[in-house]
Amino acid sequence: MGIWNPWHGCKKISPGCANCYVYRRDDSIGKDASEVNKTGDFDLPRKKNRQGEYKLTGEDGVVYACMTSDFFLKEADIWREQCWDMIRERKDLEFHIITKRIDRFEKCIPADWGDGWEHVTICSTCENQDRADYRLPLFLSLPIKHREIICEPLLEEVNIEKYLETGLIEHVTVGGESGDNARPCDFNWVKEIRRECIRQNVPFYFKQTGALFIKDGKQYKIERKDQMSQARKSNYSYYPGCTDAEKIVYRTPNKDRLFERLSNSKFRTGFHLSDEDKAYVNEKGLETIREHAKDFIGKRLAPQNPDKDGIQTPTKGHPVFKAQHATATCCRGCLEKWHNIPAGKKLNAKEKEYITDVIMEWIKRQM
Ligand code: SF4
């Protein structure tokens, strides 16, 4: 995960801001969090190391923008255009922008935004029903390619099913509030949003319990260090099509371990590049083969419900097809079983990149 904070400081605008962690942290060092200033990392997406490589790379996974402020803050209007320039330049990264100011979105987008940018996900937060009913209708009406809802800090029971029903929300995250003055989060509220997500087939992530967690009517104080791990241990996150509790909060496997596991499969190790395949790879070059792989993945694997899933990848006819069978990236069932990427959801940019890397790694090993 990459974090890019182009500016620091924010203005409180809703109940979820009452115990804002930016204010808490700044207070502790005598700083005024309501002062908004550009940071030294303003141009982080353009920054390079001594080797001339970008500091932020695809390996960082999702890049979260503005975690100590709000990207659509009025006070930052003068700087935002430059940020869009950097986001536009770095299409190799996946940016997530979390905001409580979705009502400013249209005033803040660049001229060439169109119906959204593929590598930008906008996350609208809603901590209570009032904010959900104000922000989410607006959120759904805006030109955005990827939308997520974040109910954190969850302050009461919130019903969002009618918004999920639109099919436009890709993911929901829920969590309690941290800090000394944290307001309690009731497990029943978490459960209700989870039920709504399951009914509407939307991935649901229970991120953290918060500092005060109510379960079965009893309130528990949870140490900061345990708030995320307790939520994880509950196995309460949900990814459509994924029934194995161990895989519910999914992580793609470490590549060395993956190849070790694949080497133990009689079926997977039965695939090899022929001399003809190798000659084809040499003739085209690895970069072109990578483009072919991306194209196949985009068309045959990436949709939420791919056509003829299970038999969409031929066993021969292109080196990439063989690589897909050899690496268990041939259909969504194999992707779920071997790579923990749940079926029944559209693949995101990071997942597609990961699958391409696995395929290309196998081809390189074969050459
Ligand atoms: S919008 Fe976010 S960063 Fe800004 S005050 Fe509210 S909680 Fe804090």
Q: Is 125 in the pocket of ligand 1 (CB under 6 A)?
A: no
Distance 164 CA to ligand 1 centre (A): 24
Q: Is 69 in the pocket of ligand 1 (CB under 6 A)?
A: yes
Q: Is 18 in the pocket of ligand 1 (CB under 6 A)?
A: no
Q: What is the pLDDT of residue 240?
A: 65
- b/e per residue 155-165 (b: at least 16 CB within 10 A): beebebeebbe
Distance 13 CA to ligand 1 centre (A): 7
For residue 2, the cross-strand partners are 63
Distance 115 CA to ligand 1 centre (A): 27
Distance 278 CA to ligand 1 centre (A): 55
- Point out the ligand 1 atom lying closest to the alpha carbon of residue 100: 1
- Point out the ligand 1 atom lying closest to the alpha carbon of residue 10: 4
Distance CA 194, CA 82 (A): 38
3-state SS, residue 192: helix
Distance CA 10, CA 325 (A): 50
Atom 6 of ligand 1, residue of closest alpha carbon:
17
| Predicted confidence pLDDT, tens digits, the chain (367 residues) | 899 999 999 999 999 999 999 999 999 999 999 999 999 999 999 999 999 999 998 766 789 999 999 999 999 999 999 999 999 999 989 999 999 999 999 999 999 999 999 999 999 999 999 999 999 999 999 999 999 999 999 999 999 999 999 999 999 999 999 999 999 999 999 988 988 887 787 889 999 999 999 998 999 999 999 999 999 888 778 776 554 433 444 556 777 878 888 888 889 999 999 999 999 999 999 999 999 999 999 999 999 889 888 899 999 999 999 999 999 999 998 887 788 777 777 888 878 998 999 999 999 999 9
Residue-by-residue DSSP string for 302-362: SSSS-TTTTS-S-SSSSHHHHHHHHTT-SSHHHHHHHH---TTS---HHHHHHHHHHHHHH
Distance 190 CA to ligand 1 centre (A): 22
Q: How many CB atoms lie within 10 A of CB 199?
A: 11
Q: Is 108 in the pocket of ligand 1 (CB under 6 A)?
A: no
Helix (H) or strand (E) holding 295: helix 286-296
Are the C-beta atoms of 219 and 213 separated by less than 8 Å?
yes
Q: Is 150 in the pocket of ligand 1 (CB under 6 A)?
A: no
Atom 8 of ligand 1, residue of closest alpha carbon:
20
Distance 68 CA to ligand 1 centre (A): 8
Delimit the domains of the chain by residue range: 2-247, 255-366
Report which of 81, 88, 97 is spatially closest to residue 117, judged by C-alpha positions.
Answer: 88
Distance 6 CA to ligand 1 centre (A): 15
Q: Is 8 in the pocket of ligand 1 (CB under 6 A)?
A: no
Q: Is 10 in the pocket of ligand 1 (CB under 6 A)?
A: yes
Distance CA 93, CA 353 (A): 10
